[in-house]
Every structure is written in structure tokens, then in C-alpha cells.
Amino acid sequence: MLMRRIKSLLHALALLLPLAAAAQIDPVKRDLFQFGYNQPLEGRAPVAGYAYFYHNQPDFLRTNLTLRVALAPVYLDSELGFNHLLGPNTDFAIGVAGGGFADSYNEMRGGKWIEGESFDGHGAELSASVYHLFNPGDLIPLNFVLRGAAHYSVYEGNDSTAANFHPPADGANYSVRTGLRYGGIEPTLFPDLAMELAVWYEGQFRSHPGEYGFNGDRELASASHLFWASAALSYTLPESKQNFFVRLVAGTSLDADRMSAYRLGGFLPLIAEYPLSLPGYYFQELSARQFALVNASYLLPISPGHQWNLIFNGATAGIKYLAGTEQAGNWVSGVGAGILYRSPSSRYKYIVTYAYGIDAFRSDGRGANSISFLLQIDLGRHSGDNFNAAQPNHWRGWNWLLGR
């Protein structure tokens, strides 16, 4: 029992995995602590959340170097950027990442967590990136990104995995990601002002594809191709300080499998660059080969100094499910409401929200409830105009936060 509790704690710490794979070199000095946690109020699901420290340091050792480190208890993601290395407007970066349980997978079907078909995964990654700025001096930057990575994964069953269920074979996953981004969004909770238009492609190529599961009843594809686009706007009214945030993300894929499909669900705004949030649902409850998702939030100040705010959010999505994970209905929606408090200096932000998943399947029919807790501490109280982070489907290990 003691060893099982220790292992559960390690699972939990792994799910404090940070944002990674920046889509351009962050030009602003930052020291941020982020925490988020989703708790469903019915049903049994993987516990989901994040907690990480994000440090970004321009002029690291030399004026043309930028160091980015995202640190979680059992996972490290880092990148060293060389500003203007390939030209006056072209940067180059090398990255190192790795840790325990980051590649874990949880099977979700029909509103249920299938523990016997879930398993652990550990990984390490090396990457190289090129970032080119097309319009230096303009207020809104237009960036081109090209990134290649080699990721090695080791899979194993856990205490709940069925004895006759075989995880995928260990192996390398080589990926290339490229895209264009106009604008960007900072790694903060509800930034005052931000906009983004972006299109992306990512190809994933596995050294050890093949069958796994119960007698080979599912398969890892040798190559998967993902295409997605995003449009987002955050705006704060100057006098009333009401804030509006809207994001549209749509994606499609070729030869997606369980490990590469888009996964939607939960309300954890900083778990990835494109969190694919659906309030009220389990985290990553729905697996999609194609989707279109709209998220919207509204903050209403209710106290002098605008420290206390009501927050309302909602999301709706059209989904074409990954084969083997289908459920009735291709349109899903969720809504939520809560309280946001920001300190007078805006150094601290605390958020508590309630959410209702309108179309979520549960044992008593449609509809599901959850609560979320979010915390942000800005140790440096800096701000900037550019930041981009991770691909939308990379964060499976987070489901083990706090363990069970």
C-alpha cells in the first residue's frame, strides 16, 4: 500500500508538467508560477491539473541568448535561443525536455475512464527550432516557425492496467512542426489585450508503429499528420475594465491514432497553448480526428479597484470522433461561472469556477458538473506582447495530478 501511494504521488507530480515547445523566442523577462486543478463532482475520472514555474531570461550570459525553463516536480522543459543567429530577423533555438509519466495515456469512452486500458509513459526529447520575423518594427508580429524534434517514449502498465492489455512498444517519435502566427497570447490568466491568427501543421513519425492493447485490437500509426488553425481576441474596456476573450480553434488530421488525436475537455486555461477546453467535462474526455471549438469568457468587475470579478465562460464544439472512441452526438457544449480575485498590483490571481457539461455522458444520463481552482503568481510582474507555447494535443500525463 505504501509503495502504491508513493507511485501515485509520482504520477501526480508528473502531471504538473509545464508548457513547452515555444512557438517563438519569448522576448520578455518572466518568473511565473501557475497552478490549475479540475475536480469532477460525479463519476470517476483521472485527476487533472498543472503546476509549474516558468522562467524566461533574455540576455542570458550574452545579449543574444535567451533561456526559457519550465519546471515541474518530475519534468523539465528548456530551450536556449540564439537571437539573430541566422540573420537579422531569424532566430535559432535548441531544446531539451524530459521526465516521468509525461507520455501517459488514459482511455476515455462514453463518459467513462477505462482504467484497464490506460497506461504510463515516460519520455525525453531533443529539439531544434527556427523562428523568422517577417515584419520587424510592426505592432503585431508575424512569425514563421519550423521545429524538428526527436522524442523517445517508454511505456508500461500501472496498477490498474488490465493484465492482458499490452501497452505500445517503446520507441522514438520524430516530429516536424511548421506554421505562421500573427500576434500571440502571453502565458497569463486572462491577459488584458491580445490577438492571434495562426495556422499550423505537425507531422509525427514513429520508429516502432504497430499493434497494442488486447490481442492487438488497436494500432499506432507509422505517421500521423495534424493541421489546425486558431483565431483569438482578448480585449479590456478602458473605463469599466470588463474583459472579453474569444478563441476559435479548428483542426483536422490524417491517420491519427489514440496517441496523436486531438483531445477535448476540462477547464484548464494554461495547460497548453491551445487547451481545447470544454467546461464541465473530464479533462481530455473526447478524442477527435476533426473538430471546431469556440471558447468565450467574460470578466465583470464587481468591486472598487476591480479586484473582485465575476467570470462567465462557455464553449461549444463540433467533433468527428476518432475511430473506437465514438459516442452519440457530434455537437457538445459546456458553460461555467465563478469568481476571480486579483491583488492590487495584479501580482496574484485566484479563480474558482463551477462548470456544467451540457452534453456530457454520465451514468445517470446527460449532464456533468465540475469545479476548477486556478492560481497565478507573477514573481516579476513583467508583461509583453508575444508568447506562444505548445501544440494542442501533447499533454496526456497531466491526468495523474494528485494520484489515486
- The CA distance from 305 to 376, in Å, is 19
Is the model's pLDDT at 403 over the cut of 60? no
Residue 322, pLDDT > 60, answer yes
Question: What confidence tens digit (pLDDT) does each residue in 166-188 have?
Answer: 999 999 999 999 999 999 888 88
Q: CA of 268: how far to CAs of 183, 211, 360, 381, 399, in Å?
A: 22, 32, 17, 22, 12
Indicate whether this model's pTM tops 0.85.
yes
pLDDT band for position 102 (50/70/90)? Answer: confident
Which CATH code is given to the segment(s) 2-400?
2.40.160.50
Which residues lie closer than 8 Å to 237 by C-beta, 6 or more apart?
Answer: 243
Q: Cell 531544434 appears where?
A: 128
> Residue 206 above 90 pLDDT?
yes
Residue 162 has what pLDDT? Answer: 97
Please report how many Cα atoms fall inside a 13 Å half-sphere around the Cα of residue 241, on the Cβ side.
Answer: 13
**Burial class of residue 122, CB neighbours in 10 A (0-12, 13-18, 19+):** buried
pLDDT at residue number 23: 55
pLDDT tens digits, 213-241: 999 999 999 999 999 999 999 999 999 99
- What mean pLDDT is reported for the chain? 89
Q: Is residue 259 classed as helix, strand or coil in its secondary structure?
A: coil
Long-range contacts of 177-180 (CB under 8 A, 24+ apart): 177/21, 177/145, 177/146, 177/147, 177/148, 177/149, 177/201, 177/202, 177/203, 177/391, 178/144, 178/145, 178/146, 178/147, 178/202, 179/23, 179/144, 179/145, 180/142, 180/143, 180/144, 180/145
